[in-house]
Amino acid sequence: MRAIGQDDFGGPEVLRLVEVARPEPGPAEVLVRVHAAGVNPTDSWHRASGGLAGAVVRLGWDVSGVVDAVGPGVTTLAPGDEVFGLPRHPLPAGTYAEYVTSPARHLVRKPAGLSHVEAAALPLAGLTAWQALVDVADVQPGQRVLVHAAAGGVGHLAVQMAKARGARVVGTARSAKHDFLRGLGADELVDYTETDFETAVEPVDVVIDAIGGAYGPRSLRALRPGGVLVSLASPAEAWLADEARPLGLRAAFMIVEADQAGMREIAALAGAGRLRPEIEAVLPLDQAARAHELADGRRTTGKIVLSVADRPFFIPRIHGPERHF
């Protein structure tokens, strides 16, 4: 099968198309014919440095496709099922390929109204937002939620999920993206290039921070007593917990995990039309390096997706008008 590989760490140029053996599903696993694979910041991190393990791994975690075969003991899925999910994360999965194996219970059935490209954009970013908002912060109706980088991959999904839970959403983003975010339901918007968010908004109950650095301590100042800061940026952000405690606040760093229960909630929201990923660019598998160039620019709105089994794709609007092929 075709897959994306690399021999060394580095920039997007280290990625190349390779031929490798098609995997076989083991016990409690399924083999998925990949239709689309999402591109995420963690992919760039692993490409450049090997991530926490410091080792070259086959890239890609987001997947949407069709079950091709099942291993011994699988009872929840069958060949022909359309599925999507986040196999094995944070362990390597290798979804930048024509086929991938996954534990059956790391996948859920794809809603019929969602394309494979849309579905592949949801798992990692969607589960990150869901676990931050629900499992860590326990967002309740009427609470105020501040989402940093609100137009980004995690951010634009967190805006929609927080709204679905009845929260009032404040987002930070450049002014050019404010109309887009209002369309997703954001109630208040702050251009972080022009205004200090911690003084521009009324105190909030929850902050979702995918940026890190100075945004952590600044976000603590935006919280009301009893508020929660969820940091998604780096394990180094764990020190914020000690800073938050004397202030009567809570801060937590989290890494997204494969989570079938969370994926079912995401599928339900998407199936009901309450959650839609914004797709910035769709590129074929053999242009994975180009996809990483775009992702590394950190100026995308929503997600970048690799189309594997389906050939149509488009070059992103951030480099001019969309060109469909």
137 & 116 share domain: no
**Of 253, 286, 309, the domain-final residue:** 253
**What is the per-residue pLDDT for 308?**
97
Residue showing tokens 């508020």: 227
Of 263, 242, 224, 238, nearest to 108 by C-alpha is 263
**What is the per-residue pLDDT for 323?**
35
**For strand 29-39 and strand 99-103, is the pairing parallel, antiparallel, or unpaired?**
antiparallel
Which CATH number do you get for residue 182? Answer: 3.40.50.720
106 & 136 share domain: no
**What is the per-residue pLDDT for 324?**
37
Bridge partner list, 65: 34, 83
Amino acid at 31: L
135 & 109 share domain: no
**What is the per-residue pLDDT for 319?**
39
Which CATH number do you get for residue 108? Answer: 3.90.180.10
Q: Is 166 exposed, middle or buried (0-12, 13-18, 19+ CB in 10 A)?
A: exposed
**What is the per-residue pLDDT for 66?**
98
Q: Which pTM does this prediction carry?
A: 0.94
213 & 290 share domain: no
282 & 245 share domain: no
Residue 157 lies in a domain: yes
Positive or negative torsion for Cα 314, 317, 319, 323: positive
Residue-range definition of the domain harbouring residue 133:
124-253
283 & 208 share domain: no
Residue 259 lies in a domain: no
301 & 242 share domain: no
72 & 160 share domain: no
- Tokens matching residue 108: 């859920």
Cα separation, 292 vs 21, whole angstroms:
24
pLDDT digits (tens), the chain, 325 positions = 999 999 999 999 999 999 999 999 999 999 999 999 999 999 999 999 998 888 999 999 999 999 999 999 999 999 999 999 999 999 999 999 999 999 999 999 999 999 999 999 999 999 999 999 999 999 999 999 999 999 999 999 999 999 999 999 999 999 999 999 999 999 999 999 999 999 999 999 999 999 999 999 999 999 999 999 999 987 777 889 999 999 999 999 999 999 999 999 999 999 999 999 999 999 999 999 999 999 998 778 999 999 998 655 555 544 344 433 2
216 & 286 share domain: no
**What is the per-residue pLDDT for 314?**
54
43 & 115 share domain: yes
230 & 159 share domain: yes
**Of 221, 253, 285, the domain-final residue:** 253
